[in-house]
Structure 1
Amino acid sequence: MNRDIEVVNIHDAKTNLSRLVDLASKGQPFIIAKAGKPLVKVEAIDDKPKAIIGALKGIYPAVDDIDAPFADDIANLFGGEAD
C-alpha cells in the first residue's frame, strides 16, 4: 500500500466526507479503514476516453506497402536510392 495516501477511519470519513471527496477529485486519493483494516480506496474518476485498439477495423482499407508510392521521395530524403 502506498504510504503517501491518507488513511481515515470510517467515522472520520463520514464526518469529513465533503472535504475528503474534494481532495480526491483534485488527485489526492484516500483509504477508508474500519478498526485499522483498509476497506476501500477513494480516488477521482478518470473520465478521459480510452483508445480502443482496432476501433476503425474494416472502415478504412489497409494497405500492404503504404510507402511504395513514395519510395523515391523517401530515399532522396535520406540520400539513398530506392529499390
Structure 2
Amino acid sequence: MQTQFNIHEAKSSLSRLIEQVEAGGEVVIARAGKPVVRLVPIGEAPRRRVLGLLKGRFTLPDEHAPPLPGTPDDFIDAIQGR
C-alpha cells in the first residue's frame, strides 16, 4: 500500500508513517504535490567482512615465477599449453 503525504504532514506524523512502512506499506513524501522521497524499509544490514578469512587456502607464487605473457593471445596459448 502506497500513501502520499506532503512534507508538512509527514513531519507532523513521522512516527505513524514509520509504523506504516514497518507494517509493509510504502510512503511517498511530496513537495507541492510532486513526489520527491519514498520511505521504504531497509533490508538486513550487510555482513561484516572478516579479515584473514582465506588465510592458508592458497599460496602466492614465489618471486621467481615466470612473467605473464605480453599479449592476450600469448596468455591464452600459455594457459592451453601451446
TM-score range relative to shorter protein: 0.5 to 0.7
Task: Please tell me whether residue 14 in structure 1 is matched to residue 5 in structure 2.
Answer: no
Which residue number corresponds to residue 79 of structure 2?
none
Aligned counterpart for 1:34 among listed residues 11, 31, 52: 31
Is 1:45 matched up with 2:23? no
Matched length? 56
Deviation at 1:48, TM superposition (A): 7.0
Which residue identity does 2:30 align to in structure 1? A
TM-score, normalised to structure 1's length?
A: 0.52
TM-score, normalisation: structure 2: 0.52
Gapped regions of structure 2 (runs ≥ 5): 47-53, 55-82
- 1:31 and 1:41 in contact (8 A); partners too: yes
Q: Secondary structure at the match of 1:24?
A: helix
The one-letter code sitting in structure 2 at the alignment partner of 1:19 is R
Structure 2: how far apart are the matches of 1:48 and 1:34?
30
**Once the 2 structures are TM-superposed, how far is the Cα of residue 31 of structure 1 from its aligned partner?**
0.1
Task: State the percentage of identical aligned residues.
Answer: 40
Runs of at least 4 residues off by over 4 Å: none
Distance 1:23 1:5 in 2: 10
